[in-house]
Amino acid sequence: MSHHPDNIAPHGGSLINRVCTPDQKAEFLDQADQLPRLTLDERALSDLQLIAIGGFSPLTGFLGQADYQAVVDSMHLANGLPWSIPVTLPVSAETAQPLKLGSNIRLDDPAGRFVGVLHLSEKYSYDKLHEALQVYRTNEDKHPGVKVLYAQSEINLAGEIWLLERDPHPFFPAYQIDPIDSRALFRDKGWKTIVGFQTRNPIHRAHEYIQKCALETVDGLFLHPLVGATKSDDIPADVRMRCYEILIEKYYPMNRIALAINPAAMRYAGPREAIFHALLRKNYGCTHFIVGRDHAGVGDYYGTYDAQYIFDEFDPGALGITPMMFEHAFYCKRTGQMATSKTSPSLPEERVHLSGTKVREMLRRGELPPPEFSRPEVAAELARAAQIPV
């Protein structure tokens, strides 16, 4: 293992590790039956894991009230470090009431397995409407992020956490590359500049185009699809992963791309989530991050390029990762290739616009995405998964 320093420091300066040592784990297992128990939902479990592995550095636990308030109101932690999405552990008042500050709480996964410990430092109530308007820019419960927020319980528990152990991912163990490992991987490949790409959709030609534009100027591409909780109509993670594998094998220079899963839950918070996704990739060792059209958006809640404009609200040095902004790419009939309005002289009617939404709609109608949309092998894989005869 090479020992030269990483190209980029984690957010806050050091990579957090809250995974138990074997001794700590044994100690917690001894106390397991005495501790008050809390069952985490899918999102809280994914947040617990991301805090523990350093994906959410500098967080060492679920946010306390001062940090929560600062994040919601100013997109910074109380110490002034940029942070755009509150990472909280909400429980009901009845559940919170008997829990003692300063005590340990046993955290179970949805299946009832003991997975972690919370050292309880605070319990506080919060204003859901205010959080919705600040974080999601809307108070409509039709918005999937707001819907989840409104369904949450009313008291946030705060405190440092431990993860008992880091289990292999149940479906994609080969692609579970945690921040400490992705940083080692980039070092071993000799990559000095690495661009991260966030996706929750199969990669269509517009994505491929902007990734390759970015790859022309950096050493490596970290393809980092999100496999945590997503909306029910998003294409399932296993189908998406197969599409990425096919693309990398056939259409990408394999020695310049790394594929790994991002275990985060999707918030659909648009611009704020673009910042959140950038900081997460910085912790994984990326120096650059692709921000496309309507990043992490949903419906018509955010302006087309709001996710790019929000980066201007931060001092560039404070984020510590360089955003790479791309316009909406399309297939240009005039030039016979993928392009954006920056590079194509075409008229609107000569442009074939693609989007994950359009691909999903076509599949639902039993249609195969055309070659201008998707590489044929990817289209075939999507069709197979959607049970469309090819």
The domain that contains 42 carries what CATH number? Answer: 3.10.400.10
Q: Are residues 225 and 325 in the same domain?
A: yes
Strands (E), 136-252: 155-163, 194-199, 220-225
Distances (CA, A) of 212 to 208, 222, 282, 342: 6, 12, 20, 16
Q: Domain boundary residue among 133, 163, 193? A: 163
Q: How many domains does the chain have?
A: 2
- Asked if residues 239 and 385 have their Cβ atoms less than 8 Å apart, the reply is yes
Which CATH number does the domain housing residue 209 bear?
A: 3.40.50.620
Q: Model-level pTM?
A: 0.93
Whether 100 and 140 map to the same domain: the answer is yes
Per-residue pLDDT at 229? 67
Residue 302 inside a domain? The answer is: yes
Residue 5: is its pLDDT beyond 80? no
Query: Which residue out of 200, 272, 360, 375 is catalytically annotated?
Result: 200
190 with 79, same domain? no
Q: Count CB atoms within 10 A of the CB of residue 323.
A: 21
DSSP conformational letter for 174:
G
Q: CA dist 176 to 87, 229, 259, 288, 356, Å?
A: 22, 16, 9, 21, 24
User: Within a domain: residue 373?
Assistant: yes
Residue 17 falls inside a structural domain: no
Tens digits of residue pLDDT in 345-356? 999 999 998 777
The answer to whether position 86 is within a domain reads: yes
* 94 in the same domain as 242: no
Closest to 376 measured CA to CA, from 234, 246, 224 = 246
Note the pLDDT of residue 31.
95
Range of the structural domain that residue 140 is part of: 22-163
Q: In this predicted model, what pLDDT tens digit does every residue of 166-208 receive, in sequence order?
A: 999 989 999 999 999 999 999 999 999 999 998 878 888 999 9
Q: Is 200 a catalytic residue?
A: yes
Residue 375: predicted pLDDT: 92
Same domain flag for 81 and 141: yes
CA 275/CA 51 separation, integer angstroms: 17
Cα–Cα dist 105/252, whole Å: 47
Question: What CA–CA distance (Å, rounded) separates 350 from 191?
Answer: 38
Residue 165 or residue 384, greater confidence? 165
Residue 351 sits at φ, ψ, to 5 deg, of -110, 130
Catalytic residue among 18, 43, 201, 351: 201
